[in-house]
Structure 1
Amino acid sequence: MTANHDSTLKLTNKIGVIVDSFGIGVAEGLKKAKEVGADGVQIYAVSGEMDPAVLTGAKRRELRSTIEGLGLEISALCGDLAGHGFQDASVNAEKIEKSKRILDLALELGTNIVTTHIGIVPEDRSGPIYEAMHRACMELSRYASSLDAYFAIETGPEPAAHLKSFLDTLGGKGVSVNFDPANMVMVTGDDPVQGVYTLKDYIVHTHVKDGRRLRIVDPKQVYGYLGYNKMDHAAIADMAAGGEEADFIELPPGEGDVDFDAYFRALREIGYTGYLTIEREVGSDPSADIAGAVRFIEKYRGLN
């Protein structure tokens, strides 16, 4: 795949960046996001200074004021609680409560989207893992819908068609989709362009990320599953850089196997008007990589 782009495809979507990708803390990350030309930011809100139990009262108002003062807005918060998502019924009550508090925080900060991973959706609908995930997502969907908000599941752990079949059982759009094309390319080998059309009714946020699958891999080993351990993505990147065999590699946008001409066109055709948010999980110079990704998207907006 090359970095050439379709100059006739004029996007109007805003550009977001994940503040945490800079690796310099929220305050400095916000400044860096403005510096590289982003319109908005996505921020992890699970632990540390962004934990809803820590960021309270005046701190929330101060953060929102800081973001607005920089001319930015929040595209979404990230509320990924890890630990196989919502597969383990014994810990779901606590996770659901924490997820709700993250969504409350999101709304106070000016966004109605919290992205998350729920765990790989099992093929077997009759088993306990599927039941645990379904019960949890039903509750989250009802809560989000009551606030005109969304929990957005990130694509990648399972093919788009299977994810849609799960979402269709929830009876609403409170649990929707954060579409990440690179995850699909790198892990399941699913076609992200077709995935956009398949999941069109649920996409509320997207990531701009690229990569390449180097060999077939079991998604359970990448995303984790009860009885499996999750891979270390940084270690995978180091393996690939050192010439060792890895299952996939994340690459700057335009250098991997995501067909961004077709991906962006599909998003436009389904009427998606939300954020294109850059995620960079590897690399020794994330600021330069993210700035390059902003320029990559700007070509599609006719800005450079």
Structure 2
Amino acid sequence: MRIGVLVRMDRKKDIETQFAEVKEMGMESCQLVCWDRDLMTNENADKITAAKNKHGIDITAFWCGWPGPKIWDFYGGQETLGLVPASYRFERIQTLIEGSDFAAKLGITDFVTHVGFIPENPYDSNYFGIVHAVKTVADHCAVNGQNFLFETGQETPVTLLRIIQDIGATNLGINLDPANFILYGKANPVDALDVIGKYVMGIHGKDGLYPTDGHSLGNEVALGQGKVNFPLFIERLKEIGYNGDITIEREITGDEQKRDILEAKKILEQLI
């Protein structure tokens, strides 16, 4: 297992500088994140390709966001996140298809997004529409030779397993963020591997705390300071044969973010 870090496409940050920083931190890989569809251009694809080749950084996955409102809590999130809300679904499907095509230009074969609060009840009137939407994007990913990966967090492991089985596509997988399972109060990430381990194709190195009320998510914290049992989590990943990358994510900015990323790298390297 290698250690990588997230790189975010941003109008204010030069992509070559970001890849240089990844290399300076001693990383060999990254996941590329984009929430702005206007940045998914041929020009930017060329810049990214040149930067990753110059610094010898592998892009293991393209994490694609979508347009429209995003409310990261248990109430607004039900109505705004991912492919779950029908009112935003068509435009978001189109954006994800564009993202898949952009990732293909970069030679990236794992495509990741948050699908949203997938209903636990398979008889929910919205469930079939979500299944169809995910299948539409996954089928397009398949044409591009890509896997479609669910980012974990907003659904229980069993719900995630069920929708993968119900869709039935052979290119579906999971980008497991252990902190998200805790932030959303959905599962212990170590135990979740018993349910969905065979579908895991990517891992985020992130930590967090459980929610303390029914309205707001738990808090994301520096790796090693939260409730993810990383020694046991890494041991369990080895047991199920996972040999992919662990991509560090720290949801703050500035010097503290970089310090926490480097400390997370040290902790993970010791465990691996």
- Stretches of structure 1 that go unaligned for 5 or more consecutive residues are 1-12, 223-247
Q: Aligned pairs, how many? A: 258
Q: CA RMSD in A?
A: 2.3
Alignment match, 1:8: none
Q: Does 1:257 align with 2:227?
A: yes
Query: Which residue of the partner structure matches residue 2 of structure 2?
Result: 14
**Residues 196 and 114 (structure 1), Cα distance of their counterparts in 2 relative to 1, 3 Å cut:** same
Partner of 2:202: 205
- CA spacing shift, 1:183–1:74, aligned 2, 3 Å: same
Match of residue 287 from structure 1: 258
Q: What secondary structure is seen at the aligned counterpart in 2 of 1:128?
A: coil
> Residues of 2 paired with 1:21 and 1:149: CA distance?
20
2 CA distance for matches of 1:170 and 1:106? Answer: 23
State the percentage of identical aligned residues: 26
Query: For 2:57, which of 72, 79, 99 is the aligned residue?
Result: 72
* Contact 2:174–2:199 under 8 Å retained in 1: yes
Asked if residue 275 in structure 1 is aligned to residue 245 in structure 2, the reply is: yes
Question: TM-score, structure 1 length as denominator?
Answer: 0.78
Q: Secondary structure at 2:108's aligned position in 1?
A: coil
Mapped partners of 1:266, 1:272: distance in 2: 9
Residue equivalent to 2:269 = 298
- State the distance in 1 between where 2:237 and 2:213 align: 27
Partner of residue 134 from structure 2, selected from 137, 147, 154: 137
Partner of 2:159: 162
After alignment, is 266-275 or 177-186 more displaced?
Answer: 266-275
Distance (Å, rounded) in 1 between the aligned partners of 2:8 and 2:26: 16
CA 1:137–1:276: 2 relative to 1, 3 Å: same
Match of 2:93 among 92, 96, 112: 96
Deviations 1:133-179 (A, max 9, x none): 11101112222233331221111112111211111101124332110
Aligned pair in 2 of structure 1 residues 80, 31: CA closer, same or farther (>3 Å)?
A: same
Q: 5+ residue gaps in structure 2?
A: 71-79
Letter in 2 for 1:110: G
- Partners of 2:58 and 2:169 in 1: how far apart? 27
Name the counterpart of 1:119.
116
CA offsets, 1:174-223, max 9 Å, x none?
A: 332110101112221511011122112221111010111152435xx54x
For 1:62, the aligned partner's letter is K
Deviation per residue, 1:255-300 (Å, 9 max, x gap): 2111111111111122212110000113652111111111122212
Task: Give the aligned partner of residue 191 of structure 1.
Answer: 188
Q: Does the 8 Å contact 1:15/1:38 carry over to 2?
A: yes
Deviations 1:216-266 (A, max 9, x none): 435xx54xxxxxxxxxxxxxxxxxxxxxxxxx2222211211111111111
Distance 2:144 2:197 in 1: 22
Find the residue that maps to 2:5 and give its secondary structure: strand
Structure 1 counterpart of 2:226, which letter?
A: G
Q: Which residue of 2 aligns with 1:241?
A: none
Q: 2:149 is aligned with what amino acid? A: A
User: Offset of 1:61 from its aligned partner?
Assistant: 2.7
**Looking at CA atoms only, which structure, 1 or 2, has the larger radius of gyration?**
1
The structure, 1 or 2, with the larger RCO (C-alpha pairs under 8 Å, 6+ apart) is 1
Query: Structure 1 residues 269 and 296, CA, compared in 2 at 3 Å: closer, same or farther?
Result: same
**Partner of 1:200: helix, strand, or coil?**
helix
Aligned partner of 1:33: which letter? V
